[in-house]
Structure formats: structure tokens, C-alpha cells
């Protein structure tokens, strides 16, 4: 009687996978002799998910993100998106502090209230594959979270139905 093939799909564990395969096969052979196991490994997690700490450090280098800036002194926050590196966008907000251009709601909040913004704690709320993708996510997040500092921003509005 031919052995019945069974397929076992497991997350890929690097070199450990070889050991797991051998153990699993011998175990099945021993206890379930009528089966012929085929073991398949899949990459279910991205490499970077193994390095959450490193990832956090390199947040500023990420691009195409929707970010949230919060205030140390009140509950106000601002949601924005950038297709460039978050660090570059942050620098722009910072420069707006001295330029008097009112090009940054964050800078305006600081000059109007004397509050301090959490420059080192910009949260990344979402990432996108393209600028328009980010714009859609930004619009939805602003709609849902209603960040106070976005209220007076006259940026282009994306209409979503
Ligand atoms: Zn504030």
C-alpha cells in the first residue's frame, strides 16, 4: 500500500529548519508509518520583524509614512504624511519655527503657546507604497482621530466617499 502524502507548512527558521525536518520526519515515520510527510517552509515574517529595536531607531530614515507629532504640554497632536524621509520632514517643521512662514501647524502651535513638541517621539501610524496611498491613509486617520493641530491646516483635502 502506497504511503499517503501529507504536507506540513511551517514558518522558516533558518538553519534550525533542517533539524526540525529530520525530527519531524522520524517522528512521523515512527508513529504514523502510513504517511509520507512533505515539509514546506515559508517565510511568514519579514526579516526586520526580528529586529524591533533596531527598527525603532531607524524610524527617522523611513519614507512614505503617515506620522503623528504630539505635544509634551497638552493633548494636541498633528498628523501628517511625507514621501521623503521622516527626518527631512521633521527638519522642515523645525525650520518653520524661525522662518515665520506659518508653513507648519506644529511650529505655529509652539510659537503660539510656548509648548514643546516631542521631536524625538514622532509616531509612525502607517506606511504606504506610494504618495497617494499615504494621502488616503492620512485623510482617514485625520478623520478618525481628529488631531487638534490639523484643524487649521489649509492643505489640499482628499475627498473620500
Ligand atoms: Zn501643546
pLDDT digits (tens, 9 = 90+) for 64-114: 999 999 999 999 999 999 999 999 999 999 899 888 788 899 999 999 999
pTM of the model: 0.62
Question: Ligand 1 being an ion, which residues bring their Cβ within 5 A of it?
Answer: 71, 73-74, 76, 115
Residue 16 has pLDDT above 60, yes or no: yes
SS3 letters for 122-161?
CEEEEECCCHHHHHHHHHHHHHHHCCHHHCCCCCCCCCCC
pLDDT in tens, 19-63: 888 888 898 888 888 888 888 777 765 555 555 555 555 788 899
3-state helix, strand, coil in the chain (%, to 5): 45, 25, 30
Read off the DSSP letter of residue 114. -
Q: Give residue limits of the domains in the chain.
A: 4-44, 59-150
Domain 59-150: give its CATH architecture.
Answer: 3-Layer(aba) Sandwich (3.40)
How many residues are given for the chain?
161
Q: Give residue 24 CA to ligand 1 midpoint distance, Å.
A: 58
Q: Give residue 53 CA to ligand 1 midpoint distance, Å.
A: 28
Could you list the beta-strand ranges (E) of the chain. 4-11, 35-42, 63-70, 77-85, 123-127
Q: Give residue 119 CA to ligand 1 midpoint distance, Å.
A: 13
Q: Give residue 121 CA to ligand 1 midpoint distance, Å.
A: 14
Amino acid at each position: 500500500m502506497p504511503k499517503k502524502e501529507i504536507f506540513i507548512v511551517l514558518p522558516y527558521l533558518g538553519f534550525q529548519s533542517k533539524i526540525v525536518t529530520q525530527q519531524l520526519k522520524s517522528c512521523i515515520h515512527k508513529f504514523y508509518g502510513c504517511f509520507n510527510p512533505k515539509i514546506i517552509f515559508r517565510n511568514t515574517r519579514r526579516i526586520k520583524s526580528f529586529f524591533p529595536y533596531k527598527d525603532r531607531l531607524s524610524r527617522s530614515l523611513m519614507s512614505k509614512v503617515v506620522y503623528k507629532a504630539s505635544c509634551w504640554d497638552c493633548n494636541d497632536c498633528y498628523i501628517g504624511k511625507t514621501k521623503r524621509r521622516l527626518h527631512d520632514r521633521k527638519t522642515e517643521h523645525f525650520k518653520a519655527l524661525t522662518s515665520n512662514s506659518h508653513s507648519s501647524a506644529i511650529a505655529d502651535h509652539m510659537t503660539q503657546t510656548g509648548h514643546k513638541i516631542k521631536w524625538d517621539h514622532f509616531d509612525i501610524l502607517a506606511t504606504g507604497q506610494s504618495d497617494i496611498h499615504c494621502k488616503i491613509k492620512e485623510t482617514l486617520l485625520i478623520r478618525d482621530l481628529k488631531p487638534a493641530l490639523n484643524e487649521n491646516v489649509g492643505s489640499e483635502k482628499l475627498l473620500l466617499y
